[in-house]
Amino acid sequence: MGKVLVGLSGGVDSAIAAYLLKEAGYDVTCAFMRNWDSLTNDDILGNPTIDDPVCSQEQDWADAKSVADSLGLELLRVDFIREYWDEVFQRFLSDYKLGRTPNPDILCNKYIKFDSFMKFAEEKGFATVATGHYAKMGHREDGTALLMKADDRNKDQSYFLAQIRRSVLDHVLFPLGDIDKPQVRKIAEQLNLSIAKKKDSTGICFIGERNFRQFLSNYLPMKPGNMFDIADGRLVGKHKGVLYYTVGQRKGLDIGGTGPYYVIGKDVVKNELYLTDEAHQEWLYSDQCLVSGFNQLADFSAPLKCHAKFRYRQEDNEVEITQVSEDQYLVSYPETIRSVTPGQQAVFYLDDVVLGGGTIDAVYRNGKDLMKTIDEQADSFHG
């Protein structure tokens, strides 16, 4: 067994990943990535001071150190604050400004955990890295590495890994790919690790849990505006800023006495949010979408019938993909799917193998761009 550098986050998953590799005979070293700190962002990056007192990373560092000490493993510490700000957070904000709904975890995996961290590992003499993701590595008969779904389908995180470079697959291990979360917790408890009962992290990658709308308002100021019922143009309420809402959203609209309503579109220029009610949910459904920036992780030929997820935790959907340019695919699903949203990721699977993924650029229904159809409907009731 060779040397491996494990990304130790301070959580239970990466802790048990490190333990399993050590038990398997690998020469294991751990590293903690520090990527977000409001004060450091201000001092180093020259950003305006933000009232953002929440920062869990020092506690995470302490937890990671406790785990490494318990397992008898060396723990390194590396800062990727500038890389995270430039490659993840700025891209995240840029997409939000366009009215899109990006996925920061996918950006984080692409640019930090499986790029900056991989380069750091190479500089330290490691040819292989490992993380606590729930995913599996497989191989074709010719030895080509494949990214696959984890055995624990409830925790499978392959969706978030679809944008990592194909070239890194030969240098990655996912020790949790064939065990489930209850087993991970049980091992941590048997080892008496301090983080055995620590709850799973949620929220923005490396930034953590917080009031998302309030946090985002530090960087994208609130601009209240009108919410309209797309069916008849009625003004049904006021929003706090169109950038803070996503297609399909039902909660948090603050419309009293009527509803429920669902977000179906938004106009960033007009600062208007468009909704539909229970009786007109057809506005939420599409039958095709255009996916751009496709990152191919396995060989295949299009057209191809396969499965796709258009957001995490979604059931697999039967689709057919047709290539329209070097990195663009038209995805068809005649049975229609709800709330396929521009800016989010579409990830494609053939059985358990991840074929790749890309960004949803446009959504269609009956051959028409659904967002443009919504805009035209809105223009009609504005006169």
The reply to whether omega before 104 is within 30° of 0 (cis) is no
Kindly name the residue from 30, 55, 205, 306 that is annotated as catalytic.
Answer: 205
CA angle 326, 328, 330 (to 5 degrees): 135
Say if CB 175 and CB 17 are below 8 A apart: yes
Using alpha carbons, list the distances in angstroms from residue 158 to 37, 154, 161, 193, 234.
Answer: 28, 11, 5, 27, 42
- Strands (DSSP E) along the chain, which ranges? 3-7, 27-34, 75-79, 129-130, 135-139, 145-149, 172-173, 225-229, 235-239, 261-267, 272-277, 285-296, 304-309, 317-325, 328-338, 345-350, 353-365, 368-369
Tokens standing for 184? 């991970």
Burial of 58-79, coded b for 16+ CB within 10 Å and e otherwise, reads eebbebbbbbbeebebebeebe
Say if CB 169 and CB 145 are below 8 A apart: yes
Spatial CB neighbours of 75, under 8 Å, sequence gap ≥ 6: 8, 29, 30, 31, 32, 64, 65, 68, 69
Would you call 205 a catalytic residue per the annotation? yes
Would you call 108 a catalytic residue per the annotation? yes
Q: CA 378, CA 261: separation in Å to the nearest integer?
A: 16
Spatial CB neighbours of 274, under 8 Å, sequence gap ≥ 6: 227, 228, 230, 263, 264, 265, 266, 267, 374, 377, 378
Q: Nearest CA to 344 among 360, 363, 364? A: 360
Amino acid type, 70: S
- Mutual orientation of helices 57-71 and 12-23 as an angle, nearest 10°? 20
Kindly name the residue from 30, 55, 108, 289 that is annotated as catalytic.
Answer: 108
The catalytic residue positions are 108, 205
